[in-house]
Structure formats: structure tokens, C-alpha cells
């Protein structure tokens, strides 16, 4: 049985920019809930004449505050580049305002897409996304945008002070790679075995951070003898099809030619260190690798489960897989507290416009959900691997990778039989305490699972991981589905369709390995 080894890589965020985090809290969201950064350029509607200040940030602004915090923790470079873009847009906003126009966010997309920006006056006149400023309280709007611009410039100047050779987070990464290379050498039977054992898949949510890491590592690899095995064997991938002159597919084949099923002429094992955004977080077979490094704080622990699924897969040659995650040890509580305040504000903004859920990764409006997320983050910080063992947080969607692997095996063995099964076929089994019927619904390209309990007062379950666990069985599982149970299944399906018509028409899924309606 494969052993999953989770560990944290500590670094001192305060050492990156001494004294700056306290200032960042004041700017983004202090404890009194009145941030210095008003984000006026992103919500000019609050400055309409006679309208007054609406009081709460818009949901967009809440997302921007959260994004700034996460980019700050990720890397100084990701933070700086974002601020640089925001500064340019604020300067353009003020230029337009001086010309008597208030521009919306779509205007900046027009400017960036223009082949020749030309005179801003011409662009303003031609744009449908620029409004006459006479409808706004221009002095108040201008004052707040200028204030925001000054704060953005202040933060950008601080971020620009960080040099890669003095970045303690990059230094910690170098030490971890050296330790991985040494461990591989100590444990390996030969050089080929060592190569497989030292392979590292490094993730960051931000391409800017991947740039920051890769540029630094390429320099360090040339002078640090401990990292000599990685020289000339580093690649990176992102959302672009080609990065650093290497197509994504060739980078994957070069990193894990066996597990990706590479074909000639791409079968050469070329890379031992692959850096990636979450473009590789799902659907890739990279089990030749046994080391995953998560460079960012795991704000969404489920993302780590998805990344971990790239290497912890059926067919892995490794008895152990190592899952390392960066944590700013001394500042972890402060970072999580700040994110919690931002989320709370975002929830208020969503509620103020009648949204049931704020537009942030699953459950931003629920304090209970964030408490559960925080608990998982703190467990990961302690090196607790249970989230990888269980496939996710309780009540959170699983990646489904193991189930897809099982389906592939079933198709290989019983492919024609399974494909020839008609729709509306069902099956049943007896397991656990839950009694009811499980349905599959397709809406366009999306697939939904729904468990309808036999108890009419019990809630319908739609969480993917929960439904998949209810379906778990083996080829030896006895099939139990009487005529009475079959009729009850279709009655439940009709009732579910009325209760949840927004999900489309339910279609019973053809069972594999006796999977179907649980009864």
C-alpha cells in the first residue's frame, strides 16, 4: 500500500518585507473593517451624483482584495506585477476623468486589445464603455482614486525591493530540492532509479510566481553543486500551449514519458523538475514523479488533493509519495484572519445585492465552511496527510480520479458489454445505512449525481464525493433490485425532477460492477 508523506516547508514572510504585513492589513482590511484602499476605480457607481456612498464593497472588489493577499503570499513578483497593472489602469482612469469621462472595466479591455492606442481622446469618443462624468461626484471620485493610486504605488515600491537572491521563500525551496536530490541518491539502486525518485512537480496558482521561481532556479542550479542533478533538466508549463520554447505536451512527455504514454520521438526522459500552474491539476498521468511541492499557502485545500492526484495514481512505481507545502509559519494565523475578514465583507456585499453565495471559491458566505477550510489548512501545516487519504475535506467534492481509473479498467475488461447497455437500466445493492436511489443527470456537457433518500423528509444529496462513495462496490457485490424497488426508483426520479428541475432530466446511469441505484 502506498504511503503518503505530507510535510510543511516553513519560511518567514516577515523576512521578505520586514514590517510590511501590518501595513498591508491596514490597506486591505483592518480589524475595524475600514480599509485604506477604497477601490474607487472598480466601483464608480458609488459616486453617482445624489446616490451617496453605498457603504459595502461590490463582490468584484472583495475578490480583488482577496487576490492581492494571495498574490502577496505567493511571491513578491506576483504581487508586484499585479500592482503594476492596477497602477496603469488607475492612471488611465484619472486621465479619462480629467477629460470628463468615467470609464468602466470593459474600456480597459478595449485599450489593451487596440493595435495602436493612439490618442486617448479618440478611444474615449469611440468607446461604448465611457460615460459622461457629469452624472458623478467628480471631486470625491477623483480624490479616492488618487488616494488608491498612491497606496498602490507604495505597495509596488515595497514589492520591488525584494531581490530573488534575498527571498527566504526561494531559499527554502532551494534547500528542499537539495534534500530531495540527496534522499533520492541515498535510496536509489542506480542512477536511473535516482532520476525517478528525485523528480519534482512544483505548483503555484500564479504564472508570475512560476516565472519568479524558474528564473531564480536556473541560475542557482549552475552554481549549487547539491542541485547538479537538475541542471538542464528543468521545464515549466502554464495556460499557454508553448512556454520557454517548449510545447506543453513535449514538456509532459519529457518529464514522465512512461506514465504519459509518450510515443517516438518523444520518449526521452529529459526533465526532473517541472513547474506548473494548475493547468496540470487535473487529468494528467504523472505517477513517474513521487514529489509534489505546493509553493503557495493552500487557501483551497481541495486544490492540493487534485494536484496530489497527478502522482498518487494506479501504476505508480513508488511506495511513498511526498507532498510538501509552503507555510509562512509565524504569520499563518494573521494571514488566515485577514482572509476571513475579506471573505466576511465579500459575503455582506453578495447579500446586499441578493446573492445567496458570493462569487469566491465555494462557500465564501459560510463562516462554517471557512472554519472547516481553516482546520484543514492547519492540519496540513502540522503534516497531517488525512486529506489526501480521504480524498478531500468532509463534504467537499472529490477529484474522482480513482473512480475514473476503475471505470477505465472495467471498460478494458467489459467494454462492449457496458457500451451496449441501454439507457434506463438500473441495478441495486445493499451496503451501509443509507437507503434510497441514486441518479445521474446530464446537462449539456456537465454530469450531476443525486441521491434521493427513501425517507421523504431527508435532504437530497448532490455532493459528488458523497454520491461516489455511496456507489463504491466490487465485482463480487451481490445485485439486489426487485421489481418493486425498480418502480420505486422511477417514482423517486420523477419526484426529484420536479424538485430540482434546474438540473435537467434525470437519466439512470448504466451500471458497471453492479453500480446503480443504491437500495
Same-domain status, 58 and 30? yes
Around Cβ 122, how many Cβ atoms within 10 Å?
A: 10
Same-domain status, 309 and 185? yes
Q: Is the pLDDT of residue 391 over 70?
A: no
489 compared with 2, residue with greater pLDDT: 489
pLDDT tens by residue, 247-264: 999 999 999 999 999 999
366/347 Cα distance (integer angstroms) = 8
pLDDT of residue 405: 54
Q: Please report, in angstroms and rounded to a whole number, the separation of the first and last CA atoms in the chain.
A: 31
Q: Dihedral sign, CA of 82, 88, 94, 96?
A: negative
pLDDT tens by residue, 327-339: 999 999 999 999 9
Q: Is the pLDDT of residue 439 over 70?
A: yes
Domain stop point among 313, 329, 345:
329
136-142: list long-range contacts, CB under 8 Å, 24+ apart. Answer: 136/44, 136/47, 136/48, 136/49, 136/102, 137/47, 137/48, 137/49, 138/97, 140/47, 141/40, 141/44, 141/47, 141/97, 141/102, 142/94, 142/97
Helix (H) or strand (E) holding 138: helix 138-160
Q: Which of 23-32, 359-368, 489-498 has the lowest mean pLDDT?
A: 359-368
404 compared with 373, residue with greater pLDDT: 373
pLDDT of residue 408: 61
40/299 Cα distance (integer angstroms) = 27
Let me know if residue 173 belongs to a domain: yes
C-alpha closest to that of 96 among 145, 55, 159: 145
Locus of grid cell 476605480: 41
User: Cβ distance 8 to 326 under 8 Å?
Assistant: yes
pLDDT of residue 441: 73
Task: Give the strand pairing for 273-276 and 234-237.
Answer: parallel
Let me know if residue 371 belongs to a domain: no
Tell me what percent of the residues of the chain surpass a pLDDT of 90: 47
50/69 Cα distance (integer angstroms) = 34
The three state secondary structure string of 313-350 is CCCCCCCEEEEEEEEEHHHHHHHHHHHHHHHHHHHHHH
Same-domain status, 130 and 178? no
Give the pLDDT band (50/70/90) at residue 81: very high
pLDDT of residue 400: 54
Domain stop point among 107, 138, 161:
161
pLDDT tens by residue, 447-464: 778 888 888 888 888 766
C-alpha closest to that of 90 among 171, 155, 163: 155
Let me know if residue 248 belongs to a domain: yes
C-alpha closest to that of 472 among 389, 403, 412: 403
Q: Is the pLDDT of residue 56 over 70?
A: no
Same-domain status, 272 and 255? yes
383/362 Cα distance (integer angstroms) = 24
User: Cβ distance 220 to 174 under 8 Å?
Assistant: yes
User: Cβ distance 77 to 296 under 8 Å?
Assistant: no
pLDDT of residue 361: 46
Looking up residue 257, the CATH number of its domain turns out to be 3.40.50.300
pLDDT of residue 409: 64
Half-sphere exposure of residue 41: CA atoms within 13 angstroms, side-chain side: 25
347/370 Cα distance (integer angstroms) = 12
Let me know if residue 351 belongs to a domain: no
pLDDT of residue 112: 57
451/518 Cα distance (integer angstroms) = 9
pLDDT tens by residue, 87-134: 999 998 999 999 898 987 766 665 555 544 455 556 666 556 778 899
318/329 Cα distance (integer angstroms) = 30
Locus of grid cell 453578495: 350
Q: How many domains does the chain have?
A: 3
Let me know if residue 433 belongs to a domain: yes
260/275 Cα distance (integer angstroms) = 17
Residue 19 zone, left/alpha/beta (φ > 0; ψ -120 to 50; rest): left
pLDDT tens by residue, 459-518: 888 766 667 767 777 777 777 877 777 777 767 666 544 333 333 333 333 333 333 333
Let me know if residue 428 belongs to a domain: yes
Let me know if residue 225 belongs to a domain: yes
Domain stop point among 118, 146, 161:
161
pTM of the model: 0.74
Same-domain status, 182 and 313? yes
Strand (E) positions, 192-241? 200-203, 234-237
361 compared with 404, residue with greater pLDDT: 404
Q: Is the pLDDT of residue 365 over 70?
A: no
Q: Is 236 helix (H, G, I), strand (E, B) or coil?
A: strand
Same-domain status, 151 and 174? no
User: Cβ distance 248 to 241 under 8 Å?
Assistant: yes
156/149 Cα distance (integer angstroms) = 10
258-295 burial: b if 16+ Cβ within 10 Å, else e = ebbebeeeeeebbbbbbbbbbbbbeebbbbbbbbbbbb
Same-domain status, 37 and 178? no
Average pLDDT over residues 67-71: 95
Burial of 178 (0-12, 13-18, 19+ CB in 10 A): middle
Same-domain status, 156 and 230? no
pLDDT of residue 421: 81
pLDDT of residue 482: 79
pLDDT tens by residue, 339-357: 999 888 777 665 554 444 4
pLDDT, the chain, mean: 81
Same-domain status, 147 and 236? no
Same-domain status, 205 and 157? no
Say if residue 265 is preceded by a cis peptide, omega within 30 of 0.
yes
Give the pLDDT band (50/70/90) at residue 242: very high
Q: Tell me the residue range of the domain where 447 lies.
A: 412-503
Q: Counting every residue, how long is the chain? A: 519
Same-domain status, 180 and 253? yes
Let me know if residue 344 belongs to a domain: no
Q: Is the pLDDT of residue 296 over 50?
A: yes
Q: Is the pLDDT of residue 234 over 90?
A: yes
pLDDT tens by residue, 165-212: 999 999 999 999 999 999 999 999 999 999 999 999 999 999 999 999
Same-domain status, 226 and 109? no
pLDDT of residue 495: 55
Around Cβ 51, how many Cβ atoms within 10 Å?
A: 12
CA 11 vs. chain centroid, Å, equals 22
Amino acid at each position: 500500500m502506498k504511503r503518503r508523506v505530507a510535510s510543511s516547508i516553513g519560511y518567514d514572510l516577515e523576512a521578505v518585507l520586514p514590517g510590511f504585513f501590518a501595513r498591508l492589513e491596514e490597506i486591505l482590511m483592518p480589524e475595524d473593517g475600514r480599509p485604506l484602499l477604497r477601490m474607487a476605480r472598480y466601483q464608480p457607481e458609488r459616486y453617482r451624483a445624489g446616490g451617496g456612498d453605498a457603504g459595502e464593497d461590490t463582490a468584484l472588489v472583495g475578490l480583488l482584495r482577496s487576490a492581492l493577499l494571495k498574490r502577496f503570499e505567493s511571491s513578491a513578483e506576483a504581487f508586484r506585477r499585479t500592482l503594476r497593472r492596477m497602477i496603469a489602469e488607475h492612471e488611465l482612469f484619472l486621465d479619462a476623468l480629467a477629460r470628463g469621462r468615467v470609464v468602466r472595466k470593459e474600456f480597459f479591455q478595449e485599450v489593451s486589445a487596440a493595435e495602436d492606442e493612439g490618442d486617448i481622446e479618440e478611444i474615449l469618443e469611440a468607446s461604448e464603455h465611457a460615460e459622461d462624468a457629469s452624472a458623478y461626484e467628480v471631486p470625491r471620485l477623483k480624490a479616492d482614486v488618487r488616494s488608491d493610486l498612491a497606496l498602490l504605488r507604495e505597495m509596488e515600491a515595497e514589492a520591488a525591493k525584494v531581490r530573488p537572491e534575498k527571498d527566504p521563500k526561494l531559499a527554502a525551496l532551494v534547500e528542499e530540492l537539495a534534500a530531495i536530490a540527496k534522499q533520492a541518491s541515498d535510496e536509489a539502486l542506480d542512477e536511473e532509479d535516482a532520476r525517478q525518485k528525485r523528480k519534482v512537480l512544483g505548483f503555484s496558482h500564479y504564472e508570475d510566481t512560476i516565472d519568479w521561481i524558474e528564473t531564480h532556479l536556473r541560475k542557482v542550479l549552475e552554481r549549487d553543486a547539491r542541485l547538479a542533478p537538475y541542471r538542464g533538466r528543468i521545464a515549466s508549463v502554464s495556460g499557454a500551449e508553448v512556454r520557454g520554447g517548449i510545447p506543453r505536451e513535449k514538456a509532459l512527455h519529457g518529464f514522465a514519458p512512461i506514465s504519459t504514454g509518450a510515443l517516438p520521438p518523444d520518449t526521452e526522459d529529459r526533465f526532473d523538475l517541472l513547474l506548473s500552474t494548475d493547468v496540470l491539476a487535473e487529468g494528467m498521468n504523472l505517477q513517474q514523479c513521487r514529489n509534489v511541492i505546493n509553493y503557495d499557502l493552500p487557501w483551497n485545500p481541495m486544490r492540493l488533493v487534485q494536484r496530489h492526484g497527478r502522482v498518487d495514481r494506479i501504476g505508480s512505481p513508488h511506495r511513498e509519495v511526498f507532498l510538501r507545502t509552503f507555510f509562512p509559519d509565524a504569520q499563518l494565523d494573521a494571514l488566515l484572519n485577514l482572509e476571513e475578514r475579506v471573505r466576511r465583507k465579500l459575503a455582506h456585499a453578495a447579500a446586499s445585492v441578493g446573492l445567496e453565495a458570493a462569487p469566491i471559491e465555494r462557500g465564501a458566505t459560510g463562516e462554517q465552511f471557512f472554519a472547516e477550510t481553516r482546520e484543514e489548512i492547519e492540519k496540513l501545516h502540522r503534516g497531517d496527510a488525512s486529506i489526501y487519504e480521504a480524498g478531500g475535506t468532509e463534504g467537499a467534492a472529490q477529484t474522482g480520479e480513482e473512480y475514473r481509473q476503475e471505470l477505465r479498467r472495467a471498460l478494458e475488461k467489459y467494454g462492449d458489454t457496458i457500451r451496449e447497455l441501454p439507457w434506463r437500466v438500473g441495478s441495486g445493492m445493499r451496503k451501509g445505512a443509507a437507503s434510497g436511489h441514486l441518479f445521474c443527470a446530464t446537462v449539456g456537457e456537465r454530469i450531476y449525481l443525486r441521491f434521493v433518500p427513501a425517507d421523504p423528509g431527508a435532504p437530497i444529496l448532490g455532493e459528488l464525493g458523497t454520491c461516489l462513495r455511496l456507489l463504491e462496490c466490487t465485482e463480487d457485490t451481490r445485485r439486489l433490485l426487485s421489481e418493486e424497488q425498480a418502480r420505486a426508483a422511477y417514482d423517486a426520479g420523477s419526484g426529484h425532477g420536479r424538485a430540482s428541475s434546474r438540473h435537467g432530466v434525470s437519466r439512470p446511469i448504466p451500471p458497471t460492477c453492479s453500480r446503480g441505484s443504491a437500495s
